[in-house]
Structure 1
Amino acid sequence: MSINKKDLIKRVAKRSELENKVVEQVIEATLEEIYNSLKQGESVSLRNFGSFYINKKSSGTVFKFNPSQRLRKLFGWASTYKSEM
C-alpha cells in the first residue's frame, strides 16, 4: 500500500485542522525548497526523519537519503533511539 500526494494532503489537513488548499500550498512550497537546495548542492536535514543530499561521482550524480535514528528504529535498523515511537 502507498499514499500519493493528494492522500498526504488530506491526512495532514485532518491532523492539523487546516484546509486542504493551505496544506497543499505548504507541501508544494516545502518540496520546491528541498528541490532547489539539492540543485544548489546543499543537503537538507529534517530532524526525526532524515537527510537528503547529492553525491557527485565520476560516474554521475547520485541522490542519497540517510534516515534518522527514529526512522531506523521504526524498522529495526538501529538500537540507539530512546524515545517513544
Structure 2
Amino acid sequence: MVLWIVIGVAVLGLLVLALAARAVLARLPELARALRRLEDRQARAQALGDELAVLQERAESVRQQTVVTQQRIEVIKAARGRA
C-alpha cells in the first residue's frame, strides 16, 4: 500500500514537471524572437553611442574654433581701436 502511494506521488511529480517543461518549451520560439529584437536594439543603441561620441568630438572642435575666432575678433577690434 505504501509503495503505491510513493509511486503515485512520484508519477504526479513527474507529470507536474513535464507540464511545466512543456509550457517553457512552447514559449521558446517567442523567447527567441524577443532575444533577436533585443539584440537588434542593443546594436542600434551601440551605433547611436558611437555616433554620439563622434558628435561630441565635433562639438568640442567647433567650440575650440569658436574660442579662437573670438580671440581673433578681439585682436582685430583692439587693433582698430588703436589705429
Q: Note whether the superposition's TM-score is higher than 0.5.
A: no
* TM-score where L is the length of structure 2: 0.29
- Which is greater in Rg? 2
Select the structure that is richer in strand: 1
* TM-score where L is the length of structure 1: 0.28
Select the structure that is richer in helix: 2
Q: Which structure would you say has the larger RCO, counting Cα contacts within 8 Å and 6 or more residues apart?
A: 1
